């Protein structure tokens, strides 16, 4: 019986030694594979590059290339954006805006004066605002007149014409219906009358 026990102990010991040897071999192989993979991916170089600061220098080279490329697109964007951002419909709408004034000018002849009041009723002492259009009277001075005693009398107020239009206001202490107009004394052209009730 004593001869058989060493025979059983040796195979078990041999098996344990074999398992340890296989484990060490597999560990070495995995370690070598991991080392090769890290060197291929540059993981080890990135650490040294960060330590040296070279990795940051490489990232700084990207803005330099971007700056050199920016000079070209800036010129093209400056010329293209204003033209492309404006839709043809918007530019047509802007060009059509003067047509609104043209329609009013079509109604009023160039040598006529069109006058209108902001309100037809005001309280005593309140301003009477008026405005009008005089296309041919650029720079002209228009004098305000009030109808009284069956005739048009000069009122102590005047207004200048700018860009074919004018606007101003007057005061009056006369209650009841007041009739006003403006006249260009140089040409004798008078506007239509406006009627404002005061009181």
Q: What is the pLDDT of residues 102-122, one digit of tens each?
A: 444 445 677 899 999 999 999
Q: What is the DSSP letter of 26?
A: H
Residues in the chain: 199
- What pLDDT is stored for residue 34 in this prediction? 86
Query: If pLDDT is split at 50, 70 and 90, which confidence band does 130 have?
Result: very high
Q: What is the DSSP letter of 198?
A: E
Domain boundaries, the chain: 4-79, 109-198
Kindly tell me if the per-residue pLDDT of 42 is higher than 70: no
Task: Please name the helix (run of DSSP H) or strand (run of DSSP E) that holds residue 51, with its range, or none.
Answer: helix 43-52
**Mean pLDDT, range 6-24, rounded to an integer:** 79
Lowest mean pLDDT of 40-54, 56-70, 128-142, 161-175, name the range: 56-70
Distance of CA 114 to the CA centre of its chain: 38
Q: Tell me the pLDDT tens digit for each residue of 47-105.
A: 544 445 544 444 444 444 444 444 444 444 444 444 444 555 554 555 454 444 444 44
pTM of the complete model: 0.47
With a CB cutoff of 8 Å and minimum separation 6, the contacts of 184 are 113, 134, 137, 140, 141, 142, 190
CATH topology of domain 109-198: Immunoglobulin-like (2.60.40)
Q: Is 77 helix (H, G, I), strand (E, B) or coil?
A: helix
Q: Are 169 and 130 in contact (CB under 8 A)?
A: yes
Helix, strand, coil share of the chain (percent; to 5): 50, 25, 25
Q: How many CB atoms lie within 10 A of CB 14?
A: 10
- What pLDDT is stored for residue 35 in this prediction? 84
């Amino acid at each position: 019986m004593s001869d058989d026990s060493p025979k059983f102990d040796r195979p078990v010991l041999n098996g344990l030694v074999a398992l340890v040897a296989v484990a060490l071999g597999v560990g070495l192989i995995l370690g070598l594979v991991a080392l090769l993979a890290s060197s291929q991916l540059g993981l080890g170089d990135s650490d040294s590059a960060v330590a040296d600061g070279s990795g940051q220098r490489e990232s700084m080279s990207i803005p330099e290339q971007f700056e050199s490329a920016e000079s070209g697109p800036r010129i093209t964007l400056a010329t293209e954006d204003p033209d492309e951002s404006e839709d043809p419909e918007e530019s047509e709408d802007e060009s059509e805006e003067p047509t609104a004034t043209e329609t009013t000018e079509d109604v009023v002849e160039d040598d006529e004066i069109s006058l209108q009041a902001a309100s037809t009723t005001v309280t005593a002492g309140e301003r009477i605002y008026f405005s009008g259009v005089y296309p041919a009277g650029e720079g002209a001075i228009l004098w305000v007149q009030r109808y009284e005693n069956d005739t048009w009398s000069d009122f102590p107020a005047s207004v200048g014409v700018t860009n074919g239009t004018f606007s101003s206001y007057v005061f009056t202490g006369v209650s009841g219906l007041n009739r006003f107009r403006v006249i260009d004394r140089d040409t004798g052209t008078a506007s239509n009358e406006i009627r404002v009730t005061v009181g």
